[in-house]
Amino acid sequence: MHLAGGVRSMTEADRARVLVVCTGNVCRSPLVERVLAHTVGAQIEVQSAGTAALVDSPMDGRAAAQLQRWRMDPAGFVARQVVPAMVARADLVLTATRYHRGVVAALHPPALAYTFALADFSDLVTAVSPPGPPDSTERSSLLALVRLAAAQRGMSRPRPAAEVDLVDPYKRSDATFRQMVRQVSKVLPPVIYALSAAVATRAEIPRRMLRGVP
C-alpha cells in the first residue's frame, strides 16, 4: 500500500515472514532466527519452532552466549512447537536439516515449495539475482526470491546431506557446538545478502560472525 507522497504503509498482507525449524528449538533454530532478526528483521518477521520442541524452554546457554559474542540479543526467547498454522503462514521455511524439511512438508504439504534446508537455500540463492523492485512489497519480493531459488533445484548436483545438515549440539560437547556455529557462519551470510537485497535493505553482517569460531 502506498500513501500520498510515495510513502508506503505496511499492511499485514504485505509482511514477509520466515520460519526457522530444528528439533528442540533451543540451539540451532534460535541462533539462526536471532541472526536473521538482527540483520533483516526490520523488513521481515522471523520466528522459529521445533519439530520436537522443548516447549517454553529458554535458548541453550551456549547459543545465547554466541549471539552475545556477535553483539546480538538472545533475550526473551522461549521454545515453540511447530504446527501446521505456523508453516502455512510463512513465506519461507528454513530448516536445520533435510529431514526437518520433510517433517515440515508433512505438516502442510504446500510448504514443500517454499521449505529448504538452510544450507541448500544458501547454495541456491548464490545462483540468482534477488528481486526487489522499488514498488514491490517485502512479501512479494520474498516470494519471488523463493520461486527463483526453487527454480534452481536440479540445475546442479546437490551436496550430500552430511555437508548440508547442521549438526545438532544439544547435550553434546562444546566441540560439536562450535562445529554447528562454523556451519551457520558459512551458510547464513549468502542468505542474509539475498534476503536483504530482496526487501531493499542493507544488512551488516558482523565480522565476528564471518570469522566464526575456532
State yes or no: pLDDT of 97 exceeds 60.
Answer: yes
Please say whether the beta carbons of 116 and 91 come within 8 A. no
Q: In one letter, which amino acid is 81?
A: Q
**Which of 145, 147, 151, 153 minimizes the C-alpha distance to 129?**
145
pLDDT at 133: 54
Q: Percent of the chain having pLDDT more than 90?
A: 70
> Which band of pLDDT confidence, cut at 50, 70 and 90, is reported for residue 202?
low
From CA 70, how far away is CA 25, in angstroms rounded? Answer: 20
State yes or no: pLDDT of 207 exceeds 70.
Answer: no
Q: What is the mean pLDDT of the chain?
A: 88
State yes or no: pLDDT of 211 exceeds 60.
Answer: no
> Which band of pLDDT confidence, cut at 50, 70 and 90, is reported for residue 153?
confident
Q: Is 4 or 128 the better-scoring residue by pLDDT? A: 128
- Please give the grid coordinates belonging to residue 26: 533451543
Say if residue 13 is exposed, middle or buried (CB neighbours under 10 Å; 0-12, 13-18, 19+): exposed
pLDDT at 162: 87
Domains recognised in the chain with CATH numbers: 13-204 (3.40.50.2300)
Say if residue 5 is exposed, middle or buried (CB neighbours under 10 Å; 0-12, 13-18, 19+): exposed
pLDDT at 6: 40
> Which band of pLDDT confidence, cut at 50, 70 and 90, is reported for residue 62?
very high
Give the torsion through C-alpha atoms of 126, 127, 129, 131, to 10 deg: -80
For residue 177, the number of C-alpha atoms closer than 13 Å in the C-beta half-sphere is 15
List, for residues 155-173, the tens digit of each pLDDT value: 878 888 889 999 999 999 9
> Which band of pLDDT confidence, cut at 50, 70 and 90, is reported for residue 108?
very high
From CA 20, how far away is CA 77, in angstroms rounded? Answer: 14
In terms of average pLDDT, the best of 2-6, 25-29, 129-133 is: 25-29
Please say whether the beta carbons of 3 and 9 come within 8 A. yes
Judged by average pLDDT, the poorest of 21-35, 45-59, 129-143, 156-170 is 129-143
pLDDT at 201: 64
